[in-house]
Amino acid sequence: MSNTKKAIKKRVPKSKGITIKVNSQFIEEQEKCQSSNKEIPPTNIYSFSSHGKLISVDKVKGSGVTEVPLNVMLNDTVTLAIGPDHPDKFYTLNELKRFNPEIQQVKVNEKVIDVEFFLPPNRWLCWFLSRCVVPGHVYKDFGAEAPFEDFPIDNATVEVFEVDPFRLWIPKLPEKVIDDLRDVIIELPEPINPPIPPIDPRDIPEPKPFPPEPKPRSLAKMLKADGLQKIKLLKQSPEYKTLQLEAKTQSNFEFRQTLLAKPKLILPFLCYYFPHLVKMHKLTEAVTDECGKFSAVFFRGCNNTDKPDLYFKVKQVVPEKGEVTIYEPKPISCYTHWNYQCGTEVTLRTTHPDAVANSNCGGFPSGRYLVFKSVGVKAMSQIFGCGATTTNSQNIGLLDDGKDPGSPFGGGLYFKADFSPSLRNLGIRYYKISVKGPGTNGIFKPLRHKIYRFYHEQSGDTLVRKSYTLGPDKDGHTDLYEIPDTQAPNHSPWVTFAGSMFQNSTSIGYWDSVESSLEEDLLYHAGKYEVQMQLYNASGEEVDIGSGHFYYLSNESCDPTDPLAQNKAKDLNLVKVESGEHPSLVFQLHIDNNSCAGIIGAPKLDQITAGECCGTLDYDEGSPPVTLPFTASHPNGFATYDFKVKRSAVSLTSLHKDGTATMPGNFDQTGDVSTLMSESLPDTCSEPCQNAAFAEQLHVYAWATNGIHRISGYDAHDFRAFALMKAD
């Protein structure tokens, strides 16, 4: 038995180190067969084993000889392929073949083997022409928490997929799907749970201070309504009626040809009604840089004249969770970039809670400046006295949001600013923020809420999240915060993420404008406050910024990447000497943390009020109007009220009333009995009501904002019911 094994062992070919000299000639002109000295596309020699497994990849610098060292078995066959360079590895010969390489097979029987490749221009030039570059950015979308900022996601893998072309899968659709699609186009039924493509928060207007219309009972119904509306918009196309007629009259074969000829009309229907029909395959991938930028490259194929249909996924390594897919919108057909034009910028925004973004991607210009950006997410140019137009003594410090005179600030306020990267090198290392107003006994009170920055650090095989405290009392300097460096201590980018620490990690200070004030003190603590920012050197001494421009306030209409294009604080008279020895930034905010009051009084009819027990009022033919009293107030008039009445489920528009909630805020609404009994009767009602039940609804909306959203906790609401009964 052992002799047999030895015999078999002797017959096994030995591996042999050989060199294949590949003489590759890139022909410039086919007829003259001349080699090209011009630039050729990035090209490799790919070597595959007899089993189709990749052995080596060697770069080709142009026409000439490239030595390919291999360690293979004697008498084995090696496949050599010359093809375009690609950011992804081709692990098999079949993967490479889609890029139209030049291929030869070589028998390994000598130590040095010479092989020649002649590549005609129609072969290698197409490697230039068929390259498709997909540039783009990946951002974390924090929604209302930061609607005007882009937070780049770095070190994430962007996977690019090609969705099967429309022209290929329409002919493959089953007859039943074609019939269903025909019915959808003719009848336009409501979509079943259609997806809603993501909405850019920059396009979302600020909610009005009135109650919204009744919402659908479920998310599914809301989705249906949205999807149906989008589909209905297609009916405005002049081609749509023709399409409906074709859907009614054509055979399935003819109708398929119609579908193929009108992709712009058909794709929305497939997205909302048949979202799971498409298939895809991966083309390539790319990694984002610190600014969330990526550039992916793939080859469309030499004879492919079709524009690609691309779909994207994004994956990121998250601390303590490993690799997480943070962007993969579904259904695929609704988020496909149909007929993608190579070179077009792609912006991918994710709301995934685990996605980690950079606080910034660097690039701040050098110089001596500080840009105070916002209170919450409200740019300084939106605040009267800080850049908003038509500032006067009454509205200074209020938010310019269209209300008259403007909305006050309240609650917890985050301050945001950008520091020049040169400040630390110039010896300016710390800052202090203080506030002075009715609630501070007329003195500046330093802010002392802890402010953090976050970064990632590799611990063995695990990526962990680390925190860094900016202050207060940084390095032993009382009340001072450190100006954050452009990078974390380990020279990695600062990061931010969704959750309770998001605002903290992107801010430079936090002020609880309510603090420990008692309810009875809030009225007296409302008013104009001064916010002061001072700078200090490494020794904790206040810095004299000089007489030139140093402080800038963000202006929404300016280029955010150009700090010196923002509003100059000095021109707004906001640079002055206050509590310190040198000029500092001082601006005003109007604070009001008072709550609203909203109370519905008892309805009256001919001086008789509705009973507390049953809430009924008797009437006859000669009864006077019904009076509906209510109180809607705010101590300083920073609120809006909205009063509505319903009979059964019908809103009575004649009794609707809204306005500003002033003091003392006593209002009433009146209505004739006949109006209350007959207004807006449904078609199913044959005559006015004789007896009817009514519901009153009062909402009082506070205008106060924390700079991120309206403080709804200061609102007031009340409800009341009554009935009108015809007297016997």
Domain boundaries, the chain: 16-29+37-119, 135-192+218-350, 370-591, 597-726
Please tell me the predicted confidence (pLDDT) of residue 515.
80
Q: Which of 679, 681, 673 is nearest to 626 (CA)?
A: 673
- Residue 518: the pLDDT is 67
Q: How far, in Å, are 231, 259, 268 from residue 184 at the CA level?
A: 10, 13, 12
The fold of 16-29+37-119 is Immunoglobulin-like (2.60.40)
Which parts of the chain register pLDDT below 50? 1-13, 32-33, 192-225
Q: What was the pLDDT predicted at 165?
A: 78
Q: What is the DSSP string of 372-391?
A: EEEETTEEGGGBBTTTBSS-
Identical fold for domains 16-29+37-119 and 597-726, yes or no, is yes
Show the CA angle centred on residue 93, arms to residues 89 and 99, nearest 5°. 75
Measured between alpha carbons, how far is 174 from 277 in angstroms, rounded to an integer?
A: 10
CB 417 within 8 A of CB 469: no
The sign one gets for the Cα dihedral 564, 567, 568, 571 is: positive
Pull the structure tokens for residue 411.
């609650």
Q: pLDDT by residue (tens digit) across 41-58? A: 788 999 988 888 888 999
Pair 268, 194: CB distance under 8 Å: no
Question: Domain 597-726, what architecture?
Answer: Sandwich (2.60)
d(CA 371, CA 350): 28
pLDDT at 136: 95
Q: What DSSP state is assigned to residue 126?
A: H
Question: Distance (Å, rounded) from C-alpha 535 to C-alpha 551?
Answer: 11
Rounded Cα distance, 140 and 497, in Å: 8
- Read off the pTM: 0.75
Give the model's pLDDT for residue 15: 53
Q: CA 336 to CA 311: how far, in whole Å?
A: 5
Q: Helix axis angle, 219-233 relative to 263-273, nearest 10°?
A: 170
Q: What is the pLDDT of residue 92?
A: 74
The long-range contacts involving 405-408, CB below 8 angstroms and separated by at least 24 positions, are 406/590, 407/638, 407/703, 407/704, 407/705, 407/710, 408/526, 408/590, 408/591, 408/592, 408/636, 408/638, 408/703, 408/704, 408/705
Residues 6+ apart with CB under 8 A from 34: 27, 28
Q: Which 3 state secondary structure label does DSSP give 282?
A: strand
Instruction: Pick the closest to residue 474 from 446, 451, 494 (CA basis).
Output: 451
Residue by residue, DSSP assigns 138-176 as: EEE--GGGSTT--EE--SEEEEEEEEPPHHHHTTTS-HH
